[in-house]
Every structure is written in structure tokens, then in C-alpha cells.
Amino acid sequence: MNAPVSYSQKSSPKGLLVLLVFVFLLFSFLFGFFIGQQRGVRSVVPDGEGVVLDKDSTPTSLSEDISFRQFWDVWNLIKEEYYRQPVSEKKLFYGALDGLVQSLDDPYTVYFDPEQAKEFESDLSGSFDGIGAEIGIKDDQLQIIAPLDGSPAKQAGIMAADKIYAIDGQETTDMTVEEAVQKIRGPKGTTVVLTIGRGNASSLLEITIVRGTITLDSVKLELREDGIAVINLSFFSEDTALQFTEVVNTILAKGATGLIIDLRNNTGGFLDAAIQVAGHWLGNQTVVIEKIQDKQQTYHDSKKPRLENMPTVILVNGGSASASEILAGALQDYELATLIGEQTFGKGSVQNYQSLPDGSAVKITIAEWLTPKERSIHEIGITPDVVVELTQEDFLNDLDPQFEAAVDFLSNP
């Protein structure tokens, strides 16, 4: 048997060089094509949207400690790898700003994208569609601060301090106030279901609320036959100070002998409005102290204190917050009013609302506020001079022992 024969072929140097050049060109083409495709994917955005500009801009304050390039590395990773394309750079941008603000871990410092900012500003104007309830976070739990008088929420049985565990079946764990507001709001006539916990009850309630158009009137006056004037302050808007002055003119002209200021479920509003209202009792005395780190600044009004000798009762409860606590705390410190009701909410911080060029906005905590006697009420609240509870049974039977206690106090000094 013949031995097997092996054949070999020698390559010429020229042929090998041609092969290597071809492989290199092919690799270069494919690599360039791949990079181009990736950059193409990265630059694609949904129809009708633009792209984020100035991506190479880096804050100088970070350059020595943190490579801001990592932000864009993550951005590009999302644009290249996320399985649902195209990715909205608009959502990435606003989401990044929202995360930046949330990193402060302050429920009162909030970033609003343009749509949210428009909704927030409509709230301040006094008209919007929704259920008519102020919500917030207390003890890490989303809850009702207060339902507005006559609102769909109050008519459905929602009460201050109700804890919101679900909205239309979606759990609220780790949900921000802004996310909750967006889910609760909706067109007039539509419904939303809130799953709530009330007090120490072990079972939860599911309450269906039909949304309506909420129109807010911040100042309401009732003149009683017994000479007591009742002023309901539902919130502090830009017009509240002027409306309150007109009401003061009326009650003084009518010869009122006592005054009840109902701040229950008043969740606050404009700081300036609260200061101007307090001026009717305090004149140019300090209404509130703003504390920024180690610095303090006092605020006061300058009008004549025409109500300083008017016997006054202020009604408060767990829904009385922020600007309403400023008014109540100031008059309590100077002993110019007696507070009746329940412990207030305890929001002792000041926010500044800053609109941005693209229509978005930031509401940022800039200071803590103190009462004239330098009491801090943040997350503590104000304790009434006379504690009177309004129970669920009272609410269901249309009874108001707090208001009755106020009338009795003024009628029997």
C-alpha cells in the first residue's frame, strides 16, 4: 500500500499582503457601520420631539471630584441598549431633573415638568378638575391633609389624616405626591377609587369619588345674630389678603362682638398672604421668623391692628398646615387668639416656586420658619389651647363640637 501523500502549497508574499489589506478594510467598514448604527439609534427620538443639546457641558464644581461623563455614559447606554426604541430624550431629561430634586429627600421640594407646572399653577388660580383634597406625605405615608369644603372628596366621606394605600388599585408605596396627584386627577364626571386606612382601624376602606370642577373661594363670611362673625379661610391665595380686608371692614361696620377664624383643613398657600392677614391683629409686630442655617429674618405687616381688641377664636385641626399654622402660631404667641380643635399638621418650611424657560418649574425649600417666640413646629404641629376632637361619628351625624366650643367660649368669656 502506498504511503499517504500530503500536499502543501506555499503562499506568495504578495498574495498574503493583498488578503490582509482586504480583511483590514472589511473590518474597518463593519466597525464603522456598527458605530454609525449605534450613533443612529442614539440620535433617534420619537416623532415630534427634539434632542437634548449641550451634552458636553460639565459643572465646574464637580470636575475635581466626580466625572460627569458617567451621566452621559448611562444616558448613551439607555439609548443604545434599552429594548424599546426609540427612547424619548425629553423624558430622560425631565426624569433626570426629577431624580436630582428627589435626591434631597424633601417631600416639599419638587420638580414639575411643563405639564405638571401648568397644573400646579392652575391650582393657585383657584380652579381645576379633580376631587378637591390636599394630599401630602407624613411618616413616610401618603395621606389626605384635608378635603376641601363642598368638594367631591368631602361629599364622598374622605377625612383629614386618611392614609392612602392605593389609587385605582395601584399601591402607593414609594409614590411621590406629584405622581399621586396625577393619578387622582382627571376630567369632571370620571371616577377614582381610593383605598384608605382611617385611624387605628384594622380594615381598609374603598371610596369611589366622582371628579368635579373645583372652584376655590378662599374667604367666606357669616354674620350670626348673636354678634359673632365667622370667617372661613380655606387657603391663602394671591387675593386672600384683599378679600380679608374687605371682610374686616364689614364686620367692624356691623359691630361684631367676637370672631371665629376657621382654619380647619386650610393647607396653606402664599406666605405673604398669611403675614398680611395677621397684620390685622399684630400691626407691625413680628408674624414669622425665617431661619436659613444660622441666619434669621423677621417678617411683619405695617397696617393698623384693628382687630387687636376683638375676642378671637381660631379653629384648627390636622388639616391646618403651613401658612394657616403661621397665622395661628403668631396669634397664639401674642395671646390675641384662643386656638380650639386638634393638633395641626406641622409644616414648618418655606418653599420658593421658580419657573424655568421651557415651562417647567422647581418648588424648592429655602428655609424653616418659626413662630414669633421662635417655636419650631415642623413635623410637630401646634397644640391648641383647648383640645376638642371631631370624631367620625360627629362627622357622619353632621355635628361640630369644635365650632360649638368656639361659640360657647366667646359667649361666656
User: Does residue 376 have an active-site annotation?
Assistant: no
What is the per-residue pLDDT across 237-255, written as a single tens digit (0 to 9) for each?
888 999 999 999 999 999 9
User: In Å, what is the CA distance from 223 to each residue of 202, 229, 257?
Assistant: 43, 5, 11
Is residue 144's pLDDT more than 80? yes
pLDDT for the residue 31 = 45
Of residues 79, 347, 360, 363, which has the active-site annotation?
347
Residue-wise pLDDT for 260-308, tens only, equals 999 998 988 889 999 999 999 999 999 999 999 889 999 999 999 999 9
What mean pLDDT is predicted for residues 221-229? 96
Residue 30 — very low, low, confident or very high, per pLDDT cuts 50/70/90?
A: very low
- The residue-averaged pLDDT of 151-164 equals 92
262: annotated active-site residue: no
322 assigned to active site: yes
Predicted confidence at residue 22, as pLDDT, reads 47
Rounded mean pLDDT, 347-369? 92
Grade residue 34 by pLDDT with cuts at 50, 70 and 90.
very low
- pLDDT over threshold 60, residue 24: no
Instruction: Express each pLDDT in 37-48 by its tens digit.
Output: 444 555 566 666
Active-site hit among 151, 234, 322, 324: 322
Residue 30: Cβ-neighbour burial (10 angstroms; 0-12, 13-18, 19+): exposed
Residue at 42: amino acid letter: R
- Give the model's pLDDT for residue 56: 62
pLDDT 10s digits, 3-16? 332 223 344 445 54
DSSP-assigned letters across all residues of 371-411: -TT--B-TTT----SEE----HHHHHTT--HHHHHHHHHHH
Alpha-carbon distance of 292 to 286, in angstroms, equals 17
Per-residue pLDDT at 210 exceeds 60: yes
Mean pLDDT of 87-116: 91
- Mean pLDDT (the chain) is 85
The neighbour count for residue 54, using CB atoms within 10 Å, is: 5
Domains and CATH numbers, the chain: 70-102 (no CATH), 129-215 (2.30.42.10), 219-411 (3.90.226.10)
Q: Which three cell numbers stand for residue 303?
A: 397696617
Pick the catalytic residue from 113, 162, 262, 333: 333
Residue 325 vs residues 166, 265, 314, 352, 371: alpha-carbon distances, Å: 29, 11, 11, 18, 9
Is residue 371 predicted with pLDDT exceeding 90?
yes
